[in-house]
Amino acid sequence: MKPLSVPKVSIYLQLVKGIPTNALLNEYSFCNSEKIFPMKKTNLLPVLMVGAATVALVVSAFTNAPDQLPRSARDNYLQYCASCHGENHDRFAARAWVYGNSLKEVTATLKYGRPAIGMPEFANAMTDSEISELAAYTIREVAQVPDVLPSTFNIKDKVHSMDLSFVLEEVAGGMNIPWGMGFLPDGSMLVTEKAGKLYHVKDGRQTEISGVPAVVVRGQGGLMEVTVHPDYRRNKLIYLSFADGETSDKINTTIARAVLDKGQLSKVEKIFHGSPDTNSGAHFGCRMFFDKDGYLFFGIGDRGRKENAQDLTNHCGKMHRIYDDGRIPADNPFVNTPGAMKTIWSYGHRNPQGLYYEKSTGTIWENEHGPKGGDELNIVKRGLNYGWPVISFGVNYDGTIFTNDTAKAGMEQPFHHWTPSIGPSSLTRVTSDRYPAWKGDFLSGSLSFEYVERTLIKNNRVVGRERLMPKIGRIRNVVQGPDGYIYIAVEKIGKVFKLVPVK
């Protein structure tokens, strides 16, 4: 048997021995990255872990232990569901059932999945009776979730990180899911709400901008990013990414630009529409940025279909590069590849939702969601293949394995990866002097665990991690503004906060 890498071991231990994901999470407030430091021969611990996991795998292969152990619905819930729905079914708060809440309907939801809304299938993970017990348990628990959840994190408290303290100052609010943030040259902020609204925030006043194009709100799709043209002073152009299509059943990621003047959008022009359109509500991407030469870059996820990411004849699972008016640059890497989509810049991505453009070096940093495990931080380069789903540090949501490979010739390794998954929604790098101790570190929004993940960098290597503001709520966006402050967008409480350092 081929030796297992350390991250795979942790996930195998988790699956085979049933260590719940959150047990692993608890011990991770500060630990070194497994991936970045090659194992030293003198360090016995990883070797022992590999040994233990191999034994566990072999034993389980013979005894089929997981099937024979009676597993309670709660155990299965924690192992398979909590990462997306919250340990206490929090994400079901104030939510209507789409496919019904009878035992039969919920059992079908769990067994076969509901791809249109992004709910995966679990037929391979549990026996039929376990699934129906879990369905009954879910129905019971969901009925008891209060509409408004008390947050265990108090936004009024001073927050202490390892090496600096700050308070949260509310900048914008009244939204369900604030998704994108952009800044105008006067320092004021634009914020999108996923449900389809765009706001302008200036000197503490929040006003809605009219003329926003209609968007389709479905699953993970809706109104997403807002990006300001680098030459906004002259042309007043802003860019919006959103889910759209002919009907709400045939959608993909779309980009439009429009003139923003006096609180109103005009001359809305769609400059990109992803192909193919499907009814899937999963994996739309779609962060955007302009590089220093004025090209617009953006990422689209695999739209819930793995195979898309290695197939150059569609837009899904790719990073793209276009001119500010939608034209395709003649030096894009696949313009001369027969059948390939000419906007493609890189491929083999699962769902890129964090993009950070480092102006000083021209480096494109990207983070993306893995499945269960295997979230990645990548340096995106022209024409390269980032491997999804051929190589990955993750496994399927139901615990089944889709690849044993974490590396392959011709496919890029992540700069860093996260197992268990943090569910990265966004990415920024601290460069300002306002947070001296954090300078050079990356911040990623965590959807799954509801905090900001700090990735500590020294000499271009990951040297540690820290969980900031645990349980504040799903972090949908984190950016460093032109004023050097960090801004975060928090779902559910629906607010944007500025992180203000204090003594």
Return the closest-CA partner of residue 479 out of 336, 366, 355.
355
Q: Report the distance separating Cα 349 and Cα 389, nearest Å.
A: 8
Task: For residue 120, state whether it binds ligand HEC (rule: CB under 6 A).
Answer: yes
CB atoms within 10 A of CB 112: 13
Least distance (Å) from ligand HEC to the CB of residue 35?
22
Task: For residue 81, state whether it binds ligand HEC (rule: CB under 6 A).
Answer: yes
Q: Report the distance separating Cα 284 and Cα 304, nearest Å.
A: 9
Return the closest-CA partner of residue 320 out of 343, 286, 295.
343
Classify burial at 93, counting beta carbons within 10 Å of its beta carbon; exposed 0-12, middle 13-18, buried 19 or more: middle
Q: Report the distance separating Cα 25 and Cα 22, nearest Å.
A: 5
> Which one of residues 95, 140, 233, 327 is an interface residue with ligand HEC (CB under 6 A)?
95
Interface of this chain with ligand HEC, residues 128 to 187, rule: CB under 6 A: 134, 138
- Residue 142 or residue 390: which is nearer to ligand HEC going by CB? 142
Task: For residue 420, state whether it binds ligand HEC (rule: CB under 6 A).
Answer: no
Residue 501 pairs with which residues in a beta bridge? 166
Q: Report the distance separating Cα 137 and Cα 71, nearest Å.
A: 13
Least distance (Å) from ligand HEC to the CB of residue 138?
5
Could you tell me which stretch among 104-112, 354-362, 425-433, 461-469 binds ligand HEC (CB under 6 A)?
A: 104-112
If you compute the radius of gyration of the chain from its CA atoms, what whole number of angstroms results? 22
Whether 283 sits among the annotated catalytic residues: the reply is yes
- Residue 91 or residue 315: which is nearer to ligand HEC going by CB? 91
- Residue 230 or residue 371: which is nearer to ligand HEC going by CB? 371
Could you tell me which stretch among 5-13, 103-111, 315-323, 463-471 binds ligand HEC (CB under 6 A)?
A: 103-111
> Which one of residues 24, 25, 78, 117 is an interface residue with ligand HEC (CB under 6 A)?
117
Q: Report the distance separating Cα 16 and Cα 413, nearest Å.
A: 26
Q: Which residues contact 150 (CB under 8 A, 6 or more apart)?
A: none
Task: For residue 228, state whether it binds ligand HEC (rule: CB under 6 A).
Answer: no
> Which one of residues 12, 33, 80, 473 is an interface residue with ligand HEC (CB under 6 A)?
80
Task: For residue 284, state whether it binds ligand HEC (rule: CB under 6 A).
Answer: no
Interface of this chain with ligand HEC, residues 332 to 391, rule: CB under 6 A: none
Which residue is catalytic, options 85, 229, 283, 417?
Answer: 283
Cα–Cα distances (Å) from 179 to 147, 205, 223, 312, 430, in that order, read 22, 19, 8, 28, 20
Task: For residue 243, state whether it binds ligand HEC (rule: CB under 6 A).
Answer: no
- In one letter, which amino acid is 290? F
Task: For residue 97, state whether it binds ligand HEC (rule: CB under 6 A).
Answer: yes
Buried b (16+ CB within 10 A) or exposed e, 378-389: bbbeeebbbbbb
Task: For residue 492, state whether it binds ligand HEC (rule: CB under 6 A).
Answer: no
Cα–Cα distances (Å) from 271 to 72, 276, 285, 289, 458, in that order, read 51, 16, 16, 15, 40
Cα–Cα distances (Å) from 144 to 92, 105, 289, 472, 496, in that order, read 10, 19, 42, 21, 29
Task: For residue 122, state whether it binds ligand HEC (rule: CB under 6 A).
Answer: yes
Could you tell me which stretch among 116-124, 164-172, 245-253, 490-498 binds ligand HEC (CB under 6 A)?
A: 116-124
> Which one of residues 9, 119, 443, 496 is an interface residue with ligand HEC (CB under 6 A)?
119
> Which one of residues 99, 112, 323, 402 is an interface residue with ligand HEC (CB under 6 A)?
99
Residue nearest to ligand HEC (CB): 81
- Residue 110 or residue 457: which is nearer to ligand HEC going by CB? 110
Task: For residue 110, state whether it binds ligand HEC (rule: CB under 6 A).
Answer: yes
Least distance (Å) from ligand HEC to the CB of residue 398?
8
Q: Report the distance separating Cα 352 and Cα 442, nearest Å.
A: 16
List residues near ligand HEC by CB under 6 A: 80-81, 83-85, 91, 95, 97-100, 106, 109-110, 114, 117-120, 122, 134, 138, 397
Active site residues per annotation: 283
